[in-house]
């Protein structure tokens, strides 16, 4: 297995910290839940999912921890601006806590539709306030912090020789003129907030007492260090995130984590995903090109087609999304599903031949994925295999094996084909009423309630599958 390591700036052979035990510890930067999860987020987490699936295919026991940022992420990387959760609360006319739960539920709803496996552990920043506070107190005791009155506790980057090595440049060398509007009192432009104080008249909704201020809250960077160390230990095998996190967020994580642990290397591998652009431009609501999974469904496309589209580009390459490219991917997925159903139906019970050819396809497929997650090349091998003269039984077996890593869910779709879909009238009156409640929850975008009702149906022996303009009801 080879992965590009942002820290070394090269592709390296992957060896786990506990290679003898075949254990891998992965920490992934999770969403800031102040607004809807968009397709750019979906691409990042789909590719994280591929990484985890490949490692598990290789026999590793993967402990995958992913945070939920529900406090502390300011609108500016320069430690200025309001907390994004407070901004979301004002925008949607709800409390910051309500907004956090609403958009966390929408995130998981989106992940489930995209076939992204849940992490081993998901952790909320607001549920780890004490561990974050203790970490800041430790950094203060070690002499790496200073106080800016009425603003917060800051990390002094001048005391670290290695700060900025992840991005390959030292931001402390930049001129002050390039950072107009920074917090007054910073000793170095690259210094960052560990703990922030509520300003006079701010009336924040999310505040906690601290030794420095009665109404305060953690900085964005400290939460990832505190939670990853609490749940995975002082050293990680892999830390993932977007390339926009390299220069600031991840540089700060390294600084505070390694200072806290006595300069133990924080993460052995740093895996960063490139941006998804839309029609050649940055995604934004002002441009009208901000799309969610619901936008994809409303246009008649399936989540599997979007996942397949993401797999056609390398995770380190910028990808451009267009509706025409998704249409082409939908056609490809429909063709793939048809292939699968046909070879499943027409399998032979005769003894298999051409084992060497089948093994060659398997080897080529996984070699591509083990070469820095080259999903595009792996897909090419898959299509070659399907168009080859291999026996249908081999094709069926190999496609199932490949899809366990690709995550397109072909096997579950086949099961759906084998079941008769029920109609609402086939359910009890109680379940019919519950179904209608769920539809109302979906329309009002109360995804937490909709997901809870879906679980109630599962307990009653029914599976609900959301599709465009309808919901499939199946017996379990």
Model confidence pLDDT, tens digit, residues 364-373: 999 999 999 9
> Is residue 258 predicted with pLDDT exceeding 70?
yes
Alpha-carbon span 219 to 151, nearest angstrom: 11
- Reported as a single tens digit per residue, the pLDDT across 51-102 is 999 999 999 999 999 999 999 999 888 788 889 999 999 999 999 999 999 9
112-138, pLDDT tens digit by residue?
Answer: 999 999 999 999 999 999 999 999 999
Distance CA 39, CA 296 (A): 9
Side-chain half-sphere exposure of 107, counting CA atoms within 13 A: 24
Examine the pLDDT at 400 and tell me if it is beyond 50: yes
Cα distance between residue 118 and residue 64, in whole Å = 9
User: Which comes out higher in pLDDT, residue 348 or 395?
Assistant: 395
Tell me, what's the pLDDT at 468? 62
Residue from 185, 193, 248, 214 nearest 81 by CA: 193
Asked, colleague to colleague, whether 2-273 and 278-418 share their fold, the answer is no
Tell me how crowded residue 19 is: count the other CB atoms within 10 A of its CB.
12
For 212-231, letters b (16+ CB in 10 Å) and e give bbeebbbbbbbbbbbbbbbb
Q: Give one DSSP letter per residue of 89-156, joined into a string.
A: HHHHTS-HHHHHHHHHHHHHHHHHHTTPPPPSEEEEGGG-HHHHHHHHHHHHHTT-EEEETTTEEEE-
Q: Is the pLDDT of residue 346 over 60?
A: yes
Q: What is the pLDDT of residue 289?
A: 86
The pLDDT of residue 36: 95
Q: What is the mean pLDDT of residues 6-18?
A: 97
Q: Which class is 2-273 in CATH?
A: alpha beta
Q: Which CATH architecture has domain 278-418?
A: Orthogonal Bundle (1.10)
Confidence category of residue 185, pLDDT binned at 50, 70, 90: very high
Q: How far is CA 414 from the centre of its chain?
A: 27
pLDDT class for 174, splitting at 50, 70, 90? Answer: low
Provide the residue ranges of all domains of the chain, joining segments of one domain with +: 2-273, 278-418, 424-475
**Burial classification of residue 443, based on how many CB atoms lie within 10 Å of its CB (0-12 exposed, 13-18 middle, 19 or more buried):** exposed
* Rounded Cα–Cα distance for residues 280 and 115 (Å): 26
Closest to 448 measured CA to CA, from 213, 192, 103: 103
CA 244 to CA 275: how far, in whole Å?
A: 8
Query: Quick check: 264 and 234 in contact, CB under 8 A?
Result: yes
Average pLDDT over residues 268-277: 98
Higher pLDDT: 339 or 177? It is 339
């Amino acid at each position: 297995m080879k992965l590009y390591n942002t820290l070394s700036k090269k592709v390296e052979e992957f060896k786990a910290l506990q290679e003898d035990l075949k254990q891998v510890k992965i920490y992934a930067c999770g969403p800031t839940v102040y607004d809807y999860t968009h397709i750019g987020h979906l691409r990042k987490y789909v590719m994280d999912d591929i990484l985890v699936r490949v490692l598990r295919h290789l026999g590793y026991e993967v402990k995958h921890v992913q945070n939920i940022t529900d406090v502390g992420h300011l609108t500016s990387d320069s430690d200025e601006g309001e907390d994004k959760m407070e901004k979301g609360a004002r925008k949607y006319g709800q409390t910051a806590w309500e907004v956090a739960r609403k958009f966390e539920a929408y995130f998981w709803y989106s992940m489930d539709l995209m076939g992204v496996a849940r992490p081993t552990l998901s952790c909320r920043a607001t549920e780890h306030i004490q561990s974050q506070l203790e970490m800041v107190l430790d950094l203060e005791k070690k002499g790496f912090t200073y106080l800016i009155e009425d603003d917060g506790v800051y990390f002094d980057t001048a005391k670290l020789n290695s700060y900025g090595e992840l991005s390959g440049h030292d931001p402390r060398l930049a001129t002050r003129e390039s950072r107009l509007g920074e917090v007054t009192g910073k000793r170095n432009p690259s210094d960052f907030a560990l703990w922030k104080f509520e300003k006079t008249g701010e009336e924040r909704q999310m505040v906690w007492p601290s030794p420095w201020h009665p109404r305060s809250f953690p900085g964005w960077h400290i939460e990832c260090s505190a939670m990853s160390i609490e749940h995975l230990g002082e050293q990680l095998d892999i830390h993932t995130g977007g390339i926009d996190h390299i220069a600031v967020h991840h540089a700060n994580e390294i600084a505070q984590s390694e200072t806290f642990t006595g300069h133990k290397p924080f993460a052995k591998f740093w895996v960063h995903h490139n941006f998804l652009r839309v029609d050649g431009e940055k995604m934004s609501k002002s441009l009208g090109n901000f799309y969610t999974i619901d936008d994809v469904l409303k246009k008649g496309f399936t989540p599997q087609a979007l996942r397949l589209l993401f797999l056609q580009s390398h995770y380190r390459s910028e990808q451009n999304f267009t509706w025409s490219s998704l249409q082409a991917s939908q056609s490809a997925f429909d063709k793939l599903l048809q292939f699968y159903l046909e070879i499943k139906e027409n399998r032979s019970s005769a003894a298999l031949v051409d084992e060497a050819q089948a093994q060659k396809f398997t080897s080529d497929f996984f070699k591509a994925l083990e070469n820095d997650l080259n999903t595009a090349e792996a897909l090419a091998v898959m299509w070659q295999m399907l168009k080859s003269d291999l026996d249908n039984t081999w094709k069926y077996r190999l496609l199932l094996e490949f899809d366990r890593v690709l995550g397109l869910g072909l096997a579950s779709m086949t099961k759906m084909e084998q079941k008769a879909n029920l109609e609402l009238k086939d359910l009890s009156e109680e379940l019919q009423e519950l179904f209608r409640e769920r539809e109302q929850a979906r329309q009002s975008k109360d995804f937490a309630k909709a997901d809870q009702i879906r679980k109630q149906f599962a307990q009653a022996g029914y599976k609900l599958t959301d599709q465009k303009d309808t919901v499939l009801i199946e017996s379990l």
